[in-house]
Amino acid sequence: MLGFPARRPEADDDSQQSWRENWAETPLVPAASVAGAALSVVIAIMTFLAALTASFALLLTQASHDWRGQVGAEMTIQVMPRPGRDLDADSRKAVEIVASFPGLRDARALSKGQSEELLAPWLGAGLDLGQLPVPRLIEVRRDGSKPLDEIGLRSALAAALPNANLDNHGAWMQRLTTMADVVVASALGVFALVLTAMGLAVGFATRGAMAGAREIIQSLHYVGAADSFIANEFQRHFLRLGLRGGAIGGGAAALLFFALGALSRQWTTSAGGEQAEAMFGAFALGWDGLAAIVALSLGVAGLTGLASRVIVHRSLRALN
Amino acid sequence: MVRFENVGLRYGMGAEILRDLTFDIAPQSFQFLTGPSGAGKTTLLRLILLALRPTRGLISLFGADSATLDKNALMALRRKVGVVFQDFRLLDHLTTYQNVALPLRVQGKDEPSYRAEVLELLDWVGLGQRLHVYPPVLSGGEKQRAAIARALIMRPELLLADEPTGNVDPQMARRLLRLFQELHKSGTSVVIATHDLNLMDQFEGARRLVLGDGRLHIYD
């Protein structure tokens, strides 16, 4: 149509390659910008916080499951001292009765000295407890793979040993379960709050980063780019920013947990460390924790891309 | 090609800023759109591009009633129209070559398939030596020519240019006008919005559309 002068570049293979690379390396949305870098930082920080919260929630859930499992797997038989009864013989008899019931793995009778040691934290060390009627305790461990006839066991004990009673830790279990549920619900609540804050922060930061993109959207629109093409270009760009921020934040959270896990393994040799591990479990990030962090990082990247897409479409609606 | 019948435009509840516009733009025609600053030249160009909806009246573009167009049809029609914006709207992070090739790139065409065409066009507008220069480094006239080349690369049937000589010296303005005249000779309809009387005097055969007080006066 136009009377253009005839001219064809005689490009060799090398120059063709450089043209292609030059072209391919130039995205339609500028790759580097202050707003984009700031958005990546916001995403990294929010992903880090959300990943920490999620990991702690998972650790607490796992720890509470362990508490319940440990307490529920054990029972205790108390043999009370009565005039005319031999506590050692009664304890042996209780162990024999336990051994005859399926669904129980083993029973261990605590000696008089061991029973008195259990009172030391409350009564103090060095006291002569020989004159006190200290009951004997028998630790019984359940075999989870077989059913237990608990009523039968109680009846057998009551028939043979009127001074013995069986404690299945039910009352303690109920309180522990309530406490564990509250702790887990609190952790999940905090996680939900952090997740909401993350969504809002990323949404606003994306909108801020898109403020300078209006001219690009208009230019692309008026040179004939389809709305979906423009939206895809921006979504790809912001998805990349989101993935970068998510990888930094999620990676930092995972590294922190690995570091805490290494430290906690050293602490467990101390009494305080043992108690902390009993309460909160080991700081070991399992596959579920890692999966949660990866899912969070991918989710925040997806959210960023989606937010940019919505903003582009809103701008284009105004132009149309 | 373009037909306006009793078109009026107002923003919100304000008075009509353009009223009773009735005119045609014929194929292979050349016209200047002129009038004082603020008369509504850019607004009228936007109406022709269907970037604005009229408050009343009928606009048809390439035979299609603008009121009945869906988004895809609108996009297809706009691709037949090249636009040179007053502020150029070049993307600063793309080179001159990449800016001019942009309309082809967004169509999903492979770069080798249009490279020669873009290079020819850049030579034609005198930017053959400025292929890999970014817009912030280009002079006002070079930016203007790059914007014109970008508007022409799709070989539009209608070219709308908003104050294309507003940022250049008289010599460059004459050169740009020759570009538009050559384009017109090749079969494209051209509408140049300008208030540069000297520019219009250089092409006396051109039709003049004069905007004043919201109305359009036509001098064939």
Q: What is the tens place of the pLDDT at every residue in A244-287?
A: 999 999 999 999 988 888 887 777 666 666 666 666 666 667 78
- Judge: A1–B119 Cβ closer than 8 Å, yes or no: no
Helix (H, G, I), strand (E, B) or coil at A106: strand
Q: Which pLDDT score is estimated for A17?
A: 53
Q: Is residue B210 over pLDDT 90?
A: yes
What element of type H or E holds B16? strand B16-25
Position A76 in a domain = no
Please give the torsion angle defined by the CA atoms of residues A249, A251, A254 and A259, in that order, rounded to the nearest 10 degrees: -100
The residue that leads in pLDDT, A144 or A306, is A306
In chain A, residues 207-246 whose CB comes closer than 8 Å to chain B:
215-216, 218-220, 222-227, 229
Residue B7 and residue B9: Cα distance in Å, rounded? 7
What is the C-alpha separation between B142 and B119, in angstroms, rounded? 15
Give just the sign of the alpha carbon dihedral B149, B154, B155, B160: negative
Residues A193, A97 share a domain: no
Distances (CA, A) of B120 to A19, B124, B186, B189: 16, 6, 15, 21
Does residue A85 share a domain with residue A44? no
User: Domains in chain A: how many in total?
Assistant: 2
- Look up residue A165 and give its two tokens: 């009673």
pLDDT score for A72: 77
> What would the mean pLDDT of B134-142 be, rounded to a whole number?
92
| Cα separation, B85 vs B148, whole angstroms | 9
Rounded to an integer, what distance in angstroms lies between the CA atom of residue A29 and that of residue A39?
15
Which amino acid is located at A98 in the chain? V
Residues of chain B with Cβ-Cβ distance to A312 below 8 Å are: none
Same domain, A144 and A191: no
State mean pLDDT over B125-134.
Answer: 91
Largest distance between two CA atoms of chain B:
52
Residue A132, SS3 per DSSP: coil
Residues of B in contact with A225 (CB under 8 A): 106
**Residue B8: pLDDT band with limits 50, 70, 90:** very high
Among A2, A8, A23, the residue with its CB nearest the CB of B116 is A8
Q: What integer pLDDT is reported at residue A7 of this predicted model? A: 37
- How do beta strands A136-142 and A74-79 pair? antiparallel
The DSSP symbol for A232 reads H
CA distances from B67 to A82, A238, A255, B80, B216 (A): 102, 35, 60, 18, 22
How far, CA to CA in Å, does A201 sit from each of A51, A204, A207, B103? Answer: 15, 5, 10, 35
pLDDT value for B190: 94
What's the CATH code of the domain at A146? 3.30.70
Judged by a CB distance cut-off of 8 A, whether residue A319 touches chain B is yes
User: ipTM of this complex > 0.90?
Assistant: no
Mean pLDDT calculated for residue range A151-179: 85
Tell me what the mean pLDDT of segment A189-218 comes to.
86
Coil, helix or strand for A303? helix
Q: Which two tokens stand for residue A92?
A: 């042996």
Q: Is residue A226 part of a domain?
A: yes
Mean pLDDT for chain B?
90
pLDDT at res. A1? 41
Domain boundary among A137, A162, A187: A162
Would you say residue A115 lies in a domain? yes
Q: What is the pLDDT of residue A175?
A: 85
- Residue B7 DSSP symbol: E
- Choose between A21 and A175: higher pLDDT: A175
Does residue A301 sit within a domain? Answer: yes
Q: With 90 as the cut, is the pLDDT of residue A165 above it?
A: no
Q: What is the pLDDT of residue A74?
A: 85
**How confident is the model at residue A132, as a pLDDT?**
76
Residue A29 counted as domain residue:
yes
Specify whether the CB–CB gap between B60 and B24 falls below 8 A.
no
The pLDDT-based confidence of B102 (bands split at 50, 70, 90) is very high
pLDDT per residue over B26-62, tens digit each?
999 999 999 988 889 999 999 999 988 899 999 999 9
Separation between Cα atoms, residue B60 and residue B63, nearest integer Å: 6
Is residue A288 a part of any domain in this protein?
Answer: yes
Q: Which two tokens stand for residue B10?
A: 């107002």
Taking the CA of residue B121 and the nearest CA in chain A, the distance in Å comes to 7
Contacts of A318 in chain B (CB under 8 A): none
Domains and CATH numbers, chain B: 2-219 (3.40.50.300)
Q: Cβ of B123 and A215 within 8 Å?
A: no
Residue A167 — very low, low, confident or very high, per pLDDT cuts 50/70/90? confident
d(CA A247, CA A244) in angstroms, rounded, equals 5
Which residues in chain B touch residue A26, judged by CB atoms under 8 angstroms apart? 93-95, 98
Cα A6 from Cα A3, distance rounded (Å)? 9
Q: How many CA atoms lie within 13 A of A198 on its CB side?
A: 32
- Specify the pairing of strand B207-212 against strand B30-34: parallel
Among the candidates A130, A162, A194, a domain finishes at A162
Are B131 and B116 contacting, i.e. CB atoms less than 8 angstroms apart? no
Name residue, tokens 């049809």. B73
**Beta carbons of B78 and A215 less than 8 Å apart:** no
Whether residue B124 and residue A219 make contact (CB cut-off 8 A), yes or no, is no
**A312 and A210 fall within a common domain:** yes
> What tokens appear for B170 in the block?
């008289």
Which has more pLDDT, B122 or A105?
Answer: B122
Q: Are A290 and A180 contained in the same domain?
A: yes
Do A271 and A191 reside in the same domain of the chain? yes
- Tell me what the mean pLDDT of segment B170-175 comes to: 84
What is the mean pLDDT of the segment spanning B3-10? 94
Residue A319 and residue B85: Cβ atoms within 8 Å?
Answer: no
Structural domain includes residue A225: yes
Other residues' Cβ atoms within 10 Å of the Cβ of residue B191: 24
Statement to judge: residues A192 and A276 lie in one domain? yes
Average pLDDT over residues A96-100: 85
d(CA B33, CA B195): 8
Amino acid B82: pLDDT: 92
pLDDT at A19 over 80: no
What is the residue range of A119's domain? 81-162
Task: Give the 3-state secondary structure of residue A214.
Answer: helix
CA distances to A141, A146, A163 from A113, in Å: 21, 33, 20
Q: What is the mean pLDDT of residues A40-64?
A: 88
When pLDDT is averaged across residues A71-92 and rounded to a whole number, the result is: 85
- For residue A313, give both structure tokens: 């479409």
Query: Which residues face A44 on adjacent strands?
Result: none
Are residues A192 and A314 part of one domain? yes
Asked if residue A302 and residue A249 are part of one domain, the reply reads yes
Asked if residue A259 and residue A123 are part of one domain, the reply reads no
Q: Are B166 and B176 in contact (CB under 8 A)?
A: no
Average pLDDT over residues B10-18: 88
Same domain membership, residue A296 and residue A213: yes
pLDDT in tens, B180-197: 898 898 889 999 999 888
pLDDT at A309 over 80: yes
Q: Is B74 a residue whose pLDDT tops 90?
A: no
Sorting pLDDT into bands at 50, 70 and 90, what band is A214? confident
Q: A111-125, A247-261, B81-95, B147-161: which has the minimum mean pLDDT?
A: A111-125
Name the residue of chain A whose CA is nearest to B151's CA.
A223
* Boundary residue ending a domain (A108, A134, A162): A162
Query: Left, alpha or beta for B182 (phi > 0: left; psi -120 to 50: alpha)?
Result: alpha
The reply to whether A6 falls in a domain is no
pLDDT at position B142:
92
Q: Do B91 and A8 touch (CB under 8 A)?
A: no
Task: Give residue for tokens 């979906």.
Answer: A228
Instruction: Clarify whether residues A252 and A279 are in a common domain.
Output: yes
End-to-end distance of chain A based on CA atoms, in angstroms? 30
Segments in chain B forming alpha helices (H): 41-48, 71-78, 96-105, 111-124, 140-152, 170-185, 197-201
The sign of the dihedral angle between the CA atoms of A276, A280, A281, A282 is negative
- Percentage of chain A surpassing pLDDT 70? 86
Judged by CB atoms closer than 8 Å, whether chains meet at B116 and A9 is answered as: yes
Mark yes or no for CB contact A215/B106 under 8 Å: no
Average pLDDT (A168-184) is 83
What's the pLDDT band for B91 if we cut at 50, 70, 90? very high
